Each structure stands twice: as C-alpha cells, then as structure tokens.
Structure 1
Amino acid sequence: MHLKNKRTLLFITAFTFLLLAFNSPQLPEKLQKKVNAAISYAYGTESFKLSGITSDVIPPKDYVFKIKTDDTVTGYAYVGQANSMKNVFDYVVFINKDLSIKKTKVLIYREDHGRQIGAQRWLKQFIGLSINKKPVYGENVDAISGATISAKSMTIAVKNVLKTIQKLNNKKLL
C-alpha cells in the first residue's frame, strides 16, 4: 500500500472513530416519541432536552439520557429491553438526581399475556428504590399471576438499571 493510501485510510478511520465517539445515542423514532411523552408526563413539562450518555458500562441496546430543563439536569432516563415469554418489551426508568427511581413505564409490550406489568399500580413498587435498596421479586416487588416471566424480567431489569446507574455515577458520568 502506498503512503498516500495509508494516510487516507488512517484519516478515514480516525474520522469515523470521532463521529462514533461524539455521536449521541439515538432511539428508533417510535420509541423516542413514547419516551418523550413519558418524560413530559413524569416531569410535568413539554420543554426538556435529552443528552445521551455513552459508556462501556451501558449494555448494548440500552440507552441512558440526561434530562435537562432550563439547562439544569432534572434527572435521567434509562431505556432498555427485557424478555417476556416469547419476545421482548421496551421500558423506561426515570432516575432522580439522588439516583433513586422516580417512575418506571413499560413503553412497548409485544405479547398477548402478561400486560399487567404495564399497570402503574404494579410499577409504582419501584418508586424510591435506589442503589442502596434494590428490587427483589417476591419480597419488595409483588408477584403477578399470569405475568410471572415478565414481572420477574422487569424486576431483574430494574435491578440492572440501578447497577448501571451506580457504575455511571462512579465514573462521574452523571
């Protein structure tokens, strides 16, 4: 390979790396609309900005965003997927600045059975949990008859969200 070709290849590689490193994570459009609506409802405002957080501690296919109102961090949104019986469902967990859970919401559920986990009556069990008080299915999180797999999966997902938030906080990324 000629020197000119090596330089060109090096430039393209470096430019691509920079684009990936500074590019904020992007949700699919349908999911982004649901997240925006959930943020508006949870925080009582239509005026907010999302700023993506990237780190190797965030699992693939999961997203973490700072929620800002008037250039002040209001909280964080963690968007992920969890397993249901035959498919996956999308959820969001809103985290307060003190790293406790403000609210959880199932955004897209793709099964005919187990939809009960999307009920706010069940999801409110997660409010207030934090890195110091994690969810445990059957102890501080109630079981749901007919939605056992999804309920366990959501509980594990929230526990993992809190672990990831703790790691991001330890890395001073929050």
Structure 2
Amino acid sequence: MNFELRFLLIASLMMLSFSLPKAIQKKVDAEIKDIFQIENFEFNAVYIPSEEAKALPSKFGNDNFFEIKSKDSLLGYAYVSKAPSKTDNFDYLVLLDPELIILKTKVLVYREDYGGEIGSKRWLKQFIGKTEDDNLRYGDNIVAISGATISVKSFTDAINKLLQSLKILHLKHIL
C-alpha cells in the first residue's frame, strides 16, 4: 500500500473515532429530533483544517462540530462545547440551520450548586435567531440572571465567539 493511501486510511479512521460521550450524545439526539422534527438523521463531524481551527475564537475539532443530514439534505449543524462556571465547566449545545442561524441553545450538563437557571428555556430562547452578524452583550441585549453572573457572562462570551468563528468559516467558504 502506498504512503498516500495509508495516510488517507489512518486519517479516515481517526475522524470516525471522534464522537461525543454517550450521555451527551443521547441529549443531543433528542434535541435534534425535537427541533428538526425527524427520527432518522446522519450526524457527521465537520472537518475544519487544523490551521484554520487554531485561528478561530471558538474551539473547533472533529469532536464538537457536526452536520445534521437527512437523505443527503443538509438540515443544519450542531456545536457542542464547554464553558466555565464558578468552579467547573458546563456542557452546552447550539443547533444551527444551514444558513448558520441559531435554532436552539441548551445547557446539557451543569455542574454547580448555584446558577442552574442558565439552563432555563425562557432564558436560553433569547439566543434563537442570532446570526454571525450579531454581537451579544451581557446586561444589554442578553438578560442577566442573579446568582448566575459568571455562567451567564461565560455562556454569552462562548456564543459570541462561536458566531465570530462561524462568520470567519463562512467568509473563507469552509461552511
């Protein structure tokens, strides 16, 4: 087997080996089924060249940004990441349509005793419809939550960085 073929085979196997933890994947699948009103779908990692990924404000890897397809039709994207809270990190999900508009945000796992209100549907719905052209500001166009200041600021910053990253990827025709 020649070098190029071997390299492609190893690279393909490595890409297939990246996935979400089972408990997180179950929650992500449930949200996808709910938002896209679909039972069967493909969930594939989106490859972002490593040099491009390193220059982005948000973390992008083979294990946190996915395309959602059904019958070869792109339904949208899923971005799964972590953001810091007071003493730990929390896991969150952002579902996007094919035009990179936020359809839903969800806190998947929150590991603090205080500040769990950040996961409320009512608070999270303010991110729906946000695009790469939006600039989110805590206390201005993003509502504060008493007792969850650190988590709210962190989540707002994380979503801002994601939107900035998506804009860069879109301008470079990677997405």
Following superposition, the deviation at residue 24 of structure 1 comes to: 6.3
**Could you list the runs of 4 or more consecutive aligned residues of structure 1 that deviate by over 6 angstroms after TM superposition?**
none
Q: Which deviations, in whole Å up to 9, do the C-alpha atoms of 1:18-71 show, x marking residues without a partner?
A: 533x43631111111111011111212222111211223261676111111222
In the alignment, is residue 33 of structure 1 matched against residue 26 of structure 2?
A: yes
For 2:67 and 2:60, the matched residues in 1 are separated by 18
TM-score when normalising by structure 1: 0.85
Q: In structure 1, what is the equivalent of residue 142 of structure 2?
A: 141
Check 1:157–1:64 CA distance in 2 against 1; reply closer, same or farther (3 A cut): same
Q: In structure 1, what is the equivalent of residue 94 of structure 2?
A: 93
Aligned 8 A contact 1:24 1:51 in 2: no
For 1:39 and 1:111, the matched residues in 2 are separated by 26
Letter in 1 for 2:59: P
Mapping of residues 1-174 of structure 1, within 5 Å:
14=7, 16-17=10-11, 19-20=13-14, 22-23=15-16, 25-55=18-48, 56=50, 57=53, 59=59, 63-174=64-175
Check 1:53–1:24 CA distance in 2 against 1; reply closer, same or farther (3 A cut): farther
Percentage of matched positions with identical amino acids: 42
Aligned 8 A contact 1:86 1:111 in 2: yes
Query: Helix, strand or coil: the match of 2:91?
Result: strand
For 2:99 and 2:173, the matched residues in 1 are separated by 14
For 1:97 and 1:18, the matched residues in 2 are separated by 25
Unpaired stretches in structure 1, ≥5 consecutive residues? 1-9
For 1:157 and 1:170, the matched residues in 2 are separated by 20
Unpaired stretches in structure 2, ≥5 consecutive residues? none
Pair member with larger Rg: 1
Letter in 2 for 1:19: L
Query: Helix, strand or coil: the match of 2:80?
Result: strand
For 1:59 and 1:97, the matched residues in 2 are separated by 20
**Higher mean C-alpha deviation, range 60-69 or range 135-144:** 60-69
For 2:45 and 2:174, the matched residues in 1 are separated by 11
